Amino acid sequence: MEQLIINIISREKRFALIKNGAVEKIYIEQPSQQSLVGNIYLGIVEKVIPGMNAAFVNFGEEVSGFLSRDKLPGHVLSEDENKANRSISSYLHQGEKLLVQVEKDAAGTKGARLTGIIEIPGEHLVYMPNGKYIAVSKKAETPEIRERWREFAKELITAGEGLIFRTESLTQAEEVIANELEQQRSEYQQMLTLSGGMKKPGIVYSRDYFYEQATAAISLMKEGSVIVDSLEYKKKLDPLNKEGITVSFYNGKENIFSFYKIEQEIERLLKRIVWLEKGAYMVIDHAEALTVFDVNTGKFSGKTNLRDTVIKTNMNAAVEAARQMRLRDLAGIILIDFIDMQESKDRDTVLNVIRKELLHDDRRTRIVGFTELGILQLTRKKTKQSLDETLTETCGTCSGSGKVLSSETMAYRLERELWEYKGTDHEAVLISATREVIDHFSGEAGIHKSRLENVLGMKIKFTTANAERPYYEIMKFGASAEQS
């Protein structure tokens, strides 16, 4: 039995997937950390650099993006080999307008990486107006199935267009696929119309990552329920109702994540120590370039001998390490320091356990193998910030040796707590909070504070607290005059 719990009423959007009573996935999206990947913009070429075969494009963000020659649709479509090898200056000139899509977010002083080969995602297809490319999910059961869809695609697309068939498309009727393609074509024409009337660089299509992630999770559910705390968002998800899956509205006073005990799980995921069976445990440490898991037997002594204790502890640790990678969204280089195993077949046993568990991971992982010191090396693709990076910030008191919940995270916690008082008779609430928490909560010119006051039907008043870490406390509720 599966449950997808969606907390959407506040600015921090969250969902959690629960399988057989255990949390399997948590996704959190804060406004300030929202990725631009997938967004489509009208861009204006600022500078063409033939030596790099690239151009810098102003697409409306603070830092211009980087566009290489082989990311231009004109370069991809060219069948003339001599023309295809020409410099980027043969294709672009300064001041030229074009649609671009963000492939990789800006990092530090580097601008975003852009592409001119636009991709428009759908439920079953990815449509490329200028892609000239057909691909079918590798998860198709047989080569014959892939070939059948390729042939169908050739009947659908016009010269220059491209299609990618998602796994979900392989079980759909051809009519469903054809209708979705027409809808995507219509979306692209709307983008062209919008960009044609724009005088300055700017966004023409914003990708809704949260909706995509939530619907992807729903599509993989076989039997269960989707529970959402917004009636408006429930209506948006209603079309996804299918056999065995129901979408329902949660209207309880308690925050939906608290009601389903997910807040407790998030608290545990921010801690270094993860307890295993029978007193064994793992310590998870983050460094700049990698994450290290350190496995310890603790109080577990096994039933027979030391080898029995070691192999059982390591097998349990392998299962939990894979789960923690998913839940914490750890990425990059990951090292697991299992308890030392003398026998190579014991290492193989543990390796097979973690390999099996990683099959459930929707991120690409690569197991490198054990080092001479017995440390397992693997890598996991980074697509977004980890849970720790999303929810915490460097502690000013200890100058970076520890972490505390960020001002932004505390502001969203306060917002969710106040939502539980919607519909009460209170005229006002007095809150003590640090200045950064107040600023994040209120928004520019108090826009978010005013919006929440209107929804809750009460005035929100703050007093500034002096604290060494982000902090808030709800002092009291009462009549508006009592809070002044």
Domain span holding position 242: 2-31+208-264
> Shortest CA distance to 407 belongs to which of 399, 396, 420, 422?
396
pLDDT for res 457:
93
DSSP secondary structure string, 275-337? Answer: E-GGG-EEEEEE-SSEEEEEEE-TT---SS-HHHHHHHHHHHHHHHHHHHHHHHT--EEEEEE
Domain boundary residue, one of 380, 408, 443: 380
Q: Which helix (H) or strand (E) holds 261?
A: none
d(CA 382, CA 409): 22
pLDDT for res 297:
82
Q: Are residues 139 and 198 in the same domain?
A: yes
Q: Are residues 352 and 307 in the same domain?
A: yes
pLDDT for res 481:
45
pLDDT for res 140:
80
Q: Are residues 225 and 137 in the same domain?
A: no
pLDDT for res 28:
94
Q: Are residues 347 and 335 in the same domain?
A: yes
Q: Are residues 12 and 109 in the same domain?
A: no
Q: Are residues 234 and 247 in the same domain?
A: yes
Domain assignment present for 451: yes
d(CA 33, CA 363): 19
Domain boundary residue, one of 238, 264, 290: 264
Per-residue pLDDT in tens (0 to 9) along the chain, 484 residues: 899 999 999 999 999 999 989 999 999 999 887 888 899 999 999 999 998 999 999 999 989 999 999 899 865 545 555 555 678 888 899 999 999 999 988 877 788 999 999 999 888 899 999 888 899 988 788 888 889 998 999 999 888 899 999 887 888 899 999 999 999 999 999 999 999 999 999 999 998 889 988 988 998 888 999 999 999 999 999 988 878 899 999 999 999 999 999 999 999 999 989 999 888 899 999 877 899 999 998 766 555 577 888 999 999 999 999 999 999 999 999 999 999 998 889 999 999 999 999 988 888 899 999 998 889 999 998 877 888 888 988 777 766 667 889 999 999 999 999 999 998 889 999 999 999 999 999 999 999 999 999 999 999 999 999 988 899 999 999 876 454 4
Sign of the Cα pseudo-torsion (138, 143, 148, 152, in order)? positive
d(CA 25, CA 16): 6
Domain boundary residue, one of 323, 348, 380: 380
pLDDT for res 420:
92
Q: Are residues 258 and 279 in the same domain?
A: no
Nearest 5 degrees, angle CA 445-CA 449-CA 455?
Answer: 135
pTM: 0.74
Instruction: Assign residue 138 the CATH number of its domain.
Output: 2.40.50.140
Q: Are residues 196 and 158 in the same domain?
A: yes
CB contact at 8 A, 473 and 430: no
d(CA 107, CA 65): 11
> Shortest CA distance to 4 belongs to which of 213, 297, 149?
213
* Helix/strand/coil for 34: coil
pLDDT for res 325:
95
d(CA 300, CA 278): 5
Domain assignment present for 112: yes
Quote the tokens at residue 323. 């789960």
Q: Are residues 118 and 248 in the same domain?
A: no
Domain assignment present for 149: yes
Domain assignment present for 246: yes
> Shortest CA distance to 117 belongs to which of 73, 75, 84?
73
Number of structural domains (the chain) is: 4
Q: Are residues 86 and 187 in the same domain?
A: yes
pLDDT for res 195:
94
